[in-house]
Amino acid sequence: MDRIYSINGPVVKVKASKSFSMTEMVYVGNKRLISEVINVSSDFTTIQVYEGTTGLMPGEPVVGTGAAMSALLGPGIITNIFDGIERPLRALADLTGAFIGDGAEVSPLDTERKFKVTMTVKPGDRLSAGEVYCTCPETPVVTHKCMLSPLSKGGEVVWTAPDGEYTINDTVCKIRTAEGSEEELTLCQRWPIRTPRPSKERLPIDRPLVTGQRVIDTIAPIAKGGTAAIPGGFGTGKTMTQHQLAKWCDADIIVYIGCGERGNEMTQVLEEFTELIDPRTDRPLTDRTVLIANTSNMPVAAREASIYTGITLAEYYRDMGYHIAIMADSTSRWAEALRELSGRLEEMPAEEGFPAYLPSRISEFYERAGYVKTLGGSEGSVSIIGAVSPQGSDFSEPVTQNTKRFVRCFWALDKSLAYARHYPAINWNDSYSEYTDDLAAYYKANVAEDFMQVRQDIANILNRENSLMEIVKLMGADVLPDDQKLLIETARAVRVGFLQQNAYHKDDTYVPLAKQYKMMKLILKFYELGGRALDNGSPISAVTGTGWVEKLIKLKYDIPNDKPELFDSYSKQMEQDFNALISGGEPVGA
Amino acid sequence: MELKYIGLDEINGPLVALEGVSGIGYDEMAEIRLSDGSRRMGRVVEISEGRAVLQVFEGTKGLSLTNTTTSFEGKPMELPLSKEMLGRIFSGAGRPADGLGEICPEKFADINGKPLNPVSREYPRNYINTGISSIDALMTLIRGQKLPIFSGSGLSHNKLAVQIVRQAKIADEKGQDFAIVFGAMGVKNDVADYFRRSFEETGSLQRVAMFLNMSNDPIIERILTPRCALTLAEYLAFEKNMHILVILTDMTAYAEALREFSSSKGEIPARKGYPGYLYSDLASLYERAGVVKGSTGSVTQIPILTMPNDDITHPVPDLTGYITEGQIVLDRNLDQSGVYPAVSVLPSLSRLMKDGIGEGYTREDHQMCANQLFAAYAKVSDARALASVIGEEELSASDRAYMRFGELFEKHFIDQGFDVNRTIEQTLDLGWALLSTLPRNELDRVDDEHLDKFYDTENAKIEFDI
């Protein structure tokens, strides 16, 4: 029997034991606290405990499970809320009350609940790893497909249960492997959380993850299977942006990881997502969402694990052929958990006390995103959107810098925009996406032929405004020539009318690509017509006097999402107004 | 049988080590008895077979390797709890310090608390009317929220906290369910005295429990102070169904105590010498605010912290801002120009505000009015920056309007005074009147319907005499 030698916070050591392997899950102490082996040497085995260690004593037993820290995968995951090591929080609340107790053992998934299972194989079929043997409706919008574990060698189906209602632990299928042994298949399987689930091959990334957020979809789009980081100081709206994406992006399933963040935020997600109806399915958003909540005051070791638990769940659904978006809020808290544990292990620190392996851990995480052909032959994707909370809003700190190296889409949140309540406070000059070229073909085919050109024109206007603002800051806007004043006015329409988006407005909270495109077109048209009027000798005051800048700013509210035809009449009206202006008449719309 | 260990094996700062011990748990409490009969409390912070490291709350002054006997209590630090604790004063470690004798405990609770299950939380929605315009309109305090005051040395944060306590109480519909738990960490005696006198003046002393750790008290005790205060708050809120406002001052002194303790333990420091777990540690305090399903009480926290050198990026305000649900930032320039409360509007924020205001809570135009005030005031700083370069005369008409708006806003809206208590209607009407001094087309956060209703230049002219 192995016994505890020493305890320091969440780190426990066992002296001179040879019975544990790396990343093995173990139970520590009389309370059987869930723990993981993180270091093995002939002198000591080091174990991190995922629960509070108060009251633990040297000499208490440590029991190995023989398996790596793993997640239970099966129907019942969606709509659930777990902590960082996949303990169901609702069931825990029933067991230990409002405050989370130690050593409470609950099955991650409901073992009583019955699912209506439809078998998709019959005796005599061949079944190889990753292939589906039965399906069951998990929520009204998600059909769960039970797949042969990627660890299995596969074999011939020798028995199937009749279609009907089964719990996750009932055997529904038996296969005989090539060696002749029999494997019993239930509705669930286990997978070690730190190992990526295999897929057949990675496919090129060429479809956008449509979010309905204008600044993201046009200026810095993210692809399905892509990675993005949202860095920003406190109060700049990281969580708000993550919530918006979780609500509206066109993924099939959302995995929301609240990693070291506020308890109230998770409560808010729970409440809001239950009330909000997904326009695509007419069902509450919870029907496609799974939450991992390891709030800042829950044990730090479980916070470190929460990211891996989340991505393992995502990969599992990807293997069924779904598109998953992961919101990780916030990866900085995860990095800090690494630092905290590393400090307890007395490892040599690198930058700012973070361990030297921080970059490799971050890259391992983001590399688990991708658009793949699954073992079962279907296509699925995992997109990762990670929030980063830089210390002191300083983007040069290690977590932001290392994250920047491994993501291809960067949405920089800006304090001054947030102060002005310009939301989403994504700074258009500092943000970028490396996916724009990959996605060009999609936009061309599905939105408009000249979408990329229009997008570039808008970006140019913002860019030129940015350089003009240097002058304006020094000398005021009055000294600028008229054409530059027009540019500044147009840029204002872009910033306030287009980039700024109201998450609380029923139409503006989600805007389809077609409307985004038409809004940009109309703004560009104003710039073009305004320029023509100036060439014709009209003063800038006459151009702004048409009132079109204000109209463009209010476009997002005035034209409902379901009435795109209104854009044509706006466009005609604008032409008339400017024609009148050029020909010397009074503007009609003023 | 109680085992007693004679002597110590090592003394280092607030830490002592004992060899040859057994049967002791992590986080367990110990009592150290000196040869002169005095007693000190300690806590196990590191343990291995045969060796335990204790932190001594009252400091290690006067300890030697031979003059002590140590006994272990077999349980973590627990605070005796009772409703009778209101109206009493305690030391930073939770012992009665007002000479009125021990309390008669109803139960004992571990001061470290336990994490609250997110599914058992109720999302906070009821707003607290503080009667302070800048807070009510722009960073509304919600019952169950944690909203810190970021201040600097010499600013009026204590006064503001007192005003909130005094006026918030009046807004509460059932006065007797309301109580204050006050935790002072490393504050000067006269600051603690100021709070005590203010509570007395407002007649609420009987509803206040004070935990006082002065700046000359041992730092280890300081680490316990907020935990004791919050344990009592949770007990009163979730078991006695009361609305508890917890004021913790000063969190910077707390974090410094933690740093001192960490460095004496020889831990690897992260930023500015603070331990790597500062975030988790602060979170374990701040997260003990909220509303729990099945209880009608709530814990609202107003931690006060002084930003060293007024630097908001310093680790303590920075990490605090990441955990708390917003912040009220005080500004030295405003304070010097005589504005009270010197609330710096732009960096201040209440994250829970959006769900606790509007129809049914405050007034349906609240959000719009607040957004526009923020946006307009943000432009004021641009206009001011420009004016300082090119001079005020050279400004465009709209920039001049913003300059005027900024002045009026600071004079009438932010600068309110210690004794003025405004209703939410008064505050919002004042906000609209101020916005009406701007050209109508500048108000791009407000829809036409509300502009028609609230935009009134004539009224603004009369109101502000312009």
- Asked if A476 lies within 8 A of B374 by C-beta distance, the reply is no
Chain B residue numbers with beta carbons less than 8 Å from the beta carbon of A340 are 276-277, 280
Please identify which residue in the block is written with the tokens 């829950």. A298
Q: How many CA atoms lie within 13 A of B445 on its CB side?
A: 24
Alpha-carbon distance values, A447 to A124, A147, A250, A381, A454 (Å): 47, 36, 16, 22, 12
Q: Does B449 touch chain A (CB under 8 A)?
A: no
Beta carbons of B117 and A100 less than 8 angstroms apart: yes
B192: closest CA of chain A, how far (Å):
29
B346: closest CA of chain A, how far (Å):
5
A102: closest CA of chain B, how far (Å):
9
- B267 → closest Cβ in A57, A266, A343: A343
**Close Cβ partners of A153 (under 8 Å, ≥ 6 residues apart):** A129, A177, A178
- Asked if A234 lies within 8 A of B25 by C-beta distance, the reply is no
Average pLDDT over residues B21-50: 88
In this structure, of B171-175, B387-391, B394-398, the range with the lowest mean pLDDT score is B171-175
Q: How far is C-alpha B371 from the geometric centre of its chain's CA atoms?
A: 25
pLDDT at A178: 86
Chain A residue numbers with beta carbons less than 8 Å from the beta carbon of B24 are 57-58
pLDDT at A587: 46
- B46 → closest Cβ in A8, A300, A421: A8
Max CA distance (Å), chain B: 86
pLDDT at A590: 40
B376: closest CA of chain A, how far (Å):
8
Peptide bond into B281 cis (omega under 30): no
pTM of the predicted structure, to 2 decimals: 0.91
* The two three-digit tokens of residue A87, written as one number: 């303990």
**What does the alpha-carbon distance between residue B148 and residue B137 come to, in Å, rounded to a whole number?**
17
- Asked if A59 lies within 8 A of B313 by C-beta distance, the reply is no
Residue from A2, A7, A54, A264 whose CB has the most chain B CBs within 10 Å, to mutate: A264
Amino acid occupying residue B425: E
List A326's β-bridge partners, or say none: A255, A384
DSSP three-state, residue A379:
strand
For B111-164, the pLDDT digits (tens) are 988 889 999 999 998 888 889 999 999 999 999 999 999 999 999 999 999 898
Conformation bin of residue A431: beta by default, left when phi > 0, alpha when psi is -120 to 50: beta
Please identify which residue in the block is written with the tokens 């806007």. A477
- A89 → closest Cβ in B48, B117, B319: B117
Q: Does B267 touch chain A (CB under 8 A)?
A: yes
Chain A residue numbers with beta carbons less than 8 Å from the beta carbon of B379 are 420
Peptide bond into A398 cis (omega under 30): no
DSSP three-state, residue B129:
coil
Q: Phi first, then psi: what are they for A478, rounded to 5°?
A: -65, -25
pLDDT at B105: 93
Chain A residue numbers with beta carbons less than 8 Å from the beta carbon of B72 are none
Please identify which residue in the block is written with the tokens 């079944």. A127
For B397, name the nearest residue in chain A, comparing CA atoms only.
A478
DSSP state, residue B261: H
Amino acid occupying residue A18: K
Q: Is the pLDDT score of B448 beyond 90?
A: no
Q: Does B263 touch chain A (CB under 8 A)?
A: no
Is residue B175 very low, low, confident or very high in pLDDT (cuts 50, 70, 90)?
A: low
List A327's β-bridge partners, or say none: A256, A385
B461: closest CA of chain A, how far (Å):
25
For A333, name the nearest residue in chain B, comparing CA atoms only.
B279
Closest by CA to A438, choosing from A248, A229, A226, is A226
For A282-296, the pLDDT digits (tens) are 899 999 999 999 998
Residue from B24, B117, B379 whose CB has the most chain A CBs within 10 Å, to mutate: B117
Please identify which residue in the block is written with the tokens 């045969």. B50
Q: Does B321 touch chain A (CB under 8 A)?
A: yes
- Asked if B444 lies within 8 A of A297 by C-beta distance, the reply is no
- B123 → closest Cβ in A15, A97, A271: A271
Average pLDDT, chain B: 90
Q: Phi first, then psi: what are they for B258, rounded to 5°?
A: -65, -40
Q: Which of residues 157-196 of B touch A (CB under 8 A)?
A: none
Please identify which residue in the block is written with the tokens 């409703």. B83
What percent of chain B is modeled with pLDDT above 90? 56
**What does the alpha-carbon distance between residue A305 and residue A294 come to, in Å, rounded to a whole number?**
9
pLDDT at A589: 43
Q: Which of residues 329-368 of B touch A (CB under 8 A)?
A: 346-347, 349, 351-352, 354-355, 367
Beta carbons of A570 and A548 less than 8 angstroms apart: no
B190: closest CA of chain A, how far (Å):
32
Query: Could you give the ipTM of this predicted complex?
Result: 0.86
- Asked if A473 lies within 8 A of B389 by C-beta distance, the reply is yes
List B4's β-bridge partners, or say none: B71
| In A37-99, alpha helices (H) | 89-96
Q: How far is C-alpha B257 from the geometric centre of its chain's CA atoms?
A: 17
Pairs across A and B, CB distance < 8 A: 226
Peptide bond into A424 cis (omega under 30): yes
pLDDT at B169: 66
3-state secondary structure string across B308-364: HHHCCCCHHHHHHHHHCCEEEEECHHHHHCCCCCCEEEEEEEECCHHHHCCCCCCCC
Chain A residue numbers with beta carbons less than 8 Å from the beta carbon of B116 are 98-100, 263, 297
Q: Does B310 touch chain A (CB under 8 A)?
A: no
Chain B residue numbers with beta carbons less than 8 Å from the beta carbon of A339 are 270, 276
List A256's β-bridge partners, or say none: A291, A327
* Residue numbers in chain A where pLDDT is lower than 50: 587-590
pLDDT at A347: 86
Residue from B18, B29, B119 whose CB has the most chain A CBs within 10 Å, to mutate: B119
Closest by CA to B247, choosing from B257, B258, B233, is B233
Q: Tell me how crowded residue A473 is: count the other CB atoms within 10 A of its CB.
A: 14
- Asked if A54 lies within 8 A of B284 by C-beta distance, the reply is no
**What does the alpha-carbon distance between residue A63 and residue A128 come to, in Å, rounded to a whole number?**
34
Residue from A11, A31, A54, A275 whose CB has the most chain B CBs within 10 Å, to mutate: A54
**What does the alpha-carbon distance between residue A375 and residue A390 come to, in Å, rounded to a whole number?**
38
Q: Does B215 touch chain A (CB under 8 A)?
A: no
For B78-99, the pLDDT digits (tens) are 999 999 999 999 999 898 998 8
Return the axis-axis angle of helices B278-286 and B315-323, rounded to nearest 10°: 50
Radius of gyration of chain A measured on its C-alpha atoms: 28
- Asked if A258 lies within 8 A of B124 by C-beta distance, the reply is no
Beta carbons of A275 and A132 less than 8 angstroms apart: no
Alpha-carbon distance values, B251 to B139, B158, B315 (Å): 21, 13, 12
Q: Is the pLDDT score of B269 beyond 80?
A: yes
**What does the alpha-carbon distance between residue B410 and residue B345 come to, in Å, rounded to a whole number?**
10
Q: Does B378 touch chain A (CB under 8 A)?
A: yes
Write the DSSP assignment of B30-88 as a string of letters: EEEEETTS-EEEEEEEEEETEEEEEEETT--TT--SSSEEEEEEEEE-EEEE-GGGTT-
Residue from B21, B280, B384 whose CB has the most chain A CBs within 10 Å, to mutate: B280
DSSP three-state, residue A312:
helix
DSSP three-state, residue B150:
strand
**What does the alpha-carbon distance between residue A248 and residue A97 come to, in Å, rounded to a whole number?**
33
pLDDT higher for B39 or A81?
A: A81
| In A429-512, alpha helices (H) | 436-446, 451-475, 482-492
**What does the alpha-carbon distance between residue B289 and residue A296 come to, in Å, rounded to a whole number?**
13
- Asked if A260 lies within 8 A of B314 by C-beta distance, the reply is no
In this structure, of A334-338, B218-222, B415-419, the range with the lowest mean pLDDT score is B218-222
